[in-house]
Amino acid sequence: MAAPRVITRTQCLLARGIITARISSSILASTRTAFPRRQFTSSVRVWQNNVGTSAQGHETRVSDSPASPNAYERSIALLALPRRAVKSDIEALLRKKGCDVKRIQIRMDRFTFHNEAMCFVELGSEKQAAEAVQQLNGSEFQAKSIVARPMKEDFTWGPRIDVSKGYSARRHFYDDGVSSRDAAMPLVEGRRMMLSVQTPGWGTADLNVSGRNKVVLDIIDQYFGKYGIEALGGLHPFYGDKKANPRLLCFIDFKTKQGADLAVAETHDTQIEGRKTWLQLSNPSPWRAHQIGKVDKALLVELQEKGLLPQETYEDKFSQRLVQRKWSKDLPRTT
């Protein structure tokens, strides 16, 4: 199948000159959605309605304390963030600039524990916010140039649930110190599977990227939806290459262990829509374990004790200067 190469929304918007003086949270909508100029600059509701929930399905609150009036005046948006940056990295960056960090709102992918290349931060004062924007905009952070903007007035803290997003609504969680554990429960309970499909994947060659992705999602719903899907990971791109064995298309979290086991029994190593298909238990690699540990060290230890993650996370191979580099050849390439 074909899917878009990973390009941050920030890069696309910057190239078109759409980013305004103040950033609304509407930019956090799906990376596959094209926003018109007016919607991008005026509405926070789009992003708020496109959020994830925890693995248990309850709404995840970033903070129990309500935002104070005019909090946006001392808040900033950080864009084009390195995907592997976590809340503690961002907090450390801001504190180095002399900022008092009141809260950070950042959304993570439950399957990869990567951020969405952006976050929102409330600082100690309006002056700190202005200085942070001036110092951070265009600066280098973990080998990548980032963007800093003042917050738009209509920004509202806290996520909302959008049930219309279907499986995608539960793909993300907010790093609030609790939800990372919920996000890992499918792995703990043996409900997280890798769906692999023989290249070139599903869909005809004349379809564009969005058309092929729609075909893929329809097929997944048709053949796997009956087993009870809780969440669906991002679609991995097939760039026209052909492999003898199926290659990873996406991760699937099933609602129950029984549903996951039945799906494997009935669909693994079968032909689906003319393509050989595998459905196997997720087997996280050392670099995935490393990322989970960056988000939640206690969770990493717990998963290692359960034998679900490797003990060796190759900490020395994931230094800041290697974040944007190719992986070392001696690292296992499992997912």
Query: In sequence order, what DSSP letters do the residues of 191-217 get, joined into one string?
Result: -EEEEEE-TT-SS-TTS-HHHHHHHHH
Pairing of the two strands 192-197 and 75-79: unpaired
Exposed, middle or buried by CB within 10 Å (0-12, 13-18, 19+), for 321? exposed
In which residue ranges of the chain is pLDDT below 70?
1-70, 160-165, 240-241, 318-335
Domains in the chain, ordered, with CATH? Answer: 9-165 (3.30.70.330), 189-281 (3.30.70.330)
Helix-strand-coil split of the chain, %, nearest 5: 35, 20, 45
Quickly list H helices, 61-140: 87-96, 126-136
pLDDT of residue 15: 40
* Helix or strand holding residue 254 (H, E): strand 247-254
Non-local CB neighbours of 283 within 8 Å, separated by 6+ positions = 194, 334, 335
Kindly report the number of other CB atoms within 10 A of residue 99's CB atom.
22
* Cα angle 201-207-213, degrees, rounded to a multiple of 5: 55
Q: How far apart are CA 217 and CA 234, in angstroms?
A: 11
Closest CA to 84 of 57, 65, 108: 108
Q: Is the dihedral of CA 55, 59, 61, 65 positive or negative?
A: negative
pLDDT of residue 167: 78
- The helix/strand/coil state of 61 is coil
Pairing of the two strands 229-232 and 192-197: unpaired
195 - beta bridge partners? 250, 279
Chain centre distance of CA 92: 21
pLDDT of residue 72: 84
Q: Yes or no: say if 30 and 50 are a contact pair by the CB < 8 Å rule.
A: yes
Q: Yes or no: say if 44 and 156 are a contact pair by the CB < 8 Å rule.
A: yes
Non-local CB neighbours of 145 within 8 Å, separated by 6+ positions = 80, 138, 139
Exposed, middle or buried by CB within 10 Å (0-12, 13-18, 19+), for 243? exposed
pTM over 0.85: no
pLDDT of residue 108: 95
Tokens of 209: 């990227």
Tokens of 319: 């230094």
* Side chain identity at residue 178, one-letter code: V
* Helix or strand holding residue 147 (H, E): strand 147-150
Q: How far apart are CA 304 and CA 302, in angstroms?
A: 5
* Helix or strand holding residue 303 (H, E): helix 297-305
pLDDT of residue 103: 94
Q: How far apart are CA 5 and CA 124, in angstroms?
A: 38
pLDDT of residue 229: 97
- DSSP 8-state symbol, 181: H
